Amino acid sequence: MWCNNCFLLFPLRGGAIVFSVFIFAYNIAGAALLLKFGEFVYFHYPEWDIFAGVSFLVAFVTMINILALSNWSIAITRVSSFLWPFAFVASALRAIAMIVELSLGKKMIQWECDHDGQLYTGKYDSSGKVPHFSTGVCRFGVNSLFSVVVVCLLVDVGCQLYMMFLNWRFSKRLQKYGKPGSGLISNGVNTHLHLPNTA
């Protein structure tokens, strides 16, 4: 028997839209942080730009997902279903690379904290000054910051995996029942007469 609510923490469509917005928001915020402060924790150009680019990719796929969910669109849902695995693999590889590079750069980050947030590479910006960051975050310790980043990356991968599951469930729901009120016939049955309340 088909299970319409298995592994769902919230109503399928509404919960998936909210979850998509959440993933979109934190990926945009993460990309902005990487573009602004990435060079202080990753020391091989253009690592931080690539990492930020993956966040923008995930945000783009999530935006397509939101459109599919909002419009009950089978076509757009198929597009997002096709794109999600690529975004997920890119994010998983990005998470591994970020953790490894951050681990290798701990001593350099500590050096920056010990020198008032001065950029380790000593590169000058457009104004002829060496960039600095606020050393307020250094009081928590480099190891604590490393742990926070690792947890955030793992949570991100987990959220994307669950979003892929929600997208798959929504796709199967559309195939089985169609859009509410459409009167779609599935297996000879007028499905809108017994459409489950998963919106």
DSSP result, 114-160:
HTTTB-TT----TTSS--B--GGGGGG-HHHHHHHHHHHHHHHHHHH
Is pLDDT above 80 for 194?
A: no
Is pLDDT above 80 for 147?
A: yes
Number of domains composing the chain: 1
Higher pLDDT, 123 or 62: 62
Supply φ then ψ for residue 83, to 5 degrees: -80, -30
Residue 138 is predicted with a pLDDT of 81
Using pLDDT thresholds of 50, 70 and 90, give the confidence band for residue 4: low
Range of the domain at 84: 12-194
Residue 25 lies in a domain: yes
Residue 6 lies in a domain: no
Residue 133 lies in a domain: yes
Is pLDDT above 50 for 28?
A: yes
Residue 132 lies in a domain: yes
Residue 199 lies in a domain: no
Residue 150 lies in a domain: yes
Residue 3 lies in a domain: no
Residue 1 lies in a domain: no
Alpha-carbon distance 25 to 142, whole Å?
A: 26
Taking residues 69-94, what's their average pLDDT? Answer: 92
Compute the mean pLDDT over every residue in the chain, rounded to the nearest whole number: 82
